[in-house]
Amino acid sequence: MPLPPSAQRVQDVLTQCGHPHPVTEMPDSTRTSAEAAAAVGCEVAQIAKSLIFKTAGSGHPVLVVASGVNRVDEKKLAACLGEKIARPDADFVRAETGYAIGGVPPIGHDRPIKTLIDRDLLALSDIWAAAGTPRAVFKLTPADLIAMTGGTVADLRKDG
């Protein structure tokens, strides 16, 4: 069965990278970290959720790839960027990434996006990321994530 077009775009990037794990279309939703973990049979921490933020002044998109159990500390994020941030609307996310919220992958965007990676993901051997739809995922390692995104590792977890 062929993948939906947005998931196929992610698969094409994975193929170009020589990545060994294919995009998998799950029968149930993987929109939230809990749903994704249940669908693939892993811990919620192993879900690499892709969150899009917007710099408040310049209006640039920023991708944060965070562990599924963590909330992002927006003050830490702003400090990393040297600029205040805002939560964008769904139209901004789709326009900047080419994907809808709930299926935004860490790779395969319409144009390069500054990427920050939650340091807590590095403690895990395998992680799972969204692959373009609310039911598509792919398996990778934290090292794969860094290599594929060119992202910067940062302490972004909200404490407490």
CATH number of the domain to which 30 belongs: 3.90.960.10
Q: What is the pLDDT of residues 56-99, one digit of tens each?
A: 989 999 999 999 999 999 999 999 999 999 999 999 999 999 99
Of 35, 34, 8, 7, whose CA–CA distance to 103 is shortest? 7
**Structure-block tokens of residue 115:** 């990427």
In this structure, is residue 159 part of a structural domain?
Answer: no
The model's pLDDT over 94-122, given as tens digits with 9 standing for 90+, comes to 999 999 998 999 999 988 999 999 999 99
Contact 61, 98 (CB under 8 A): no
For residue 160, being part of any structural domain is answered with: no
49: enclosing H helix or E strand: strand 47-55
What's the domain count of the chain? 1
Q: Which domain holds residue 28?
A: 5-154
Give the integer Cα–Cα distance in Å for 24 and 7: 9
Question: Considering the domain boundaries, does residue 75 fall inside one?
Answer: yes
Whether residue 26 lies inside any domain: the answer is: yes
| Residue 35, C-beta contacts closer than 8 angstroms, at least 6 positions apart | 28, 29
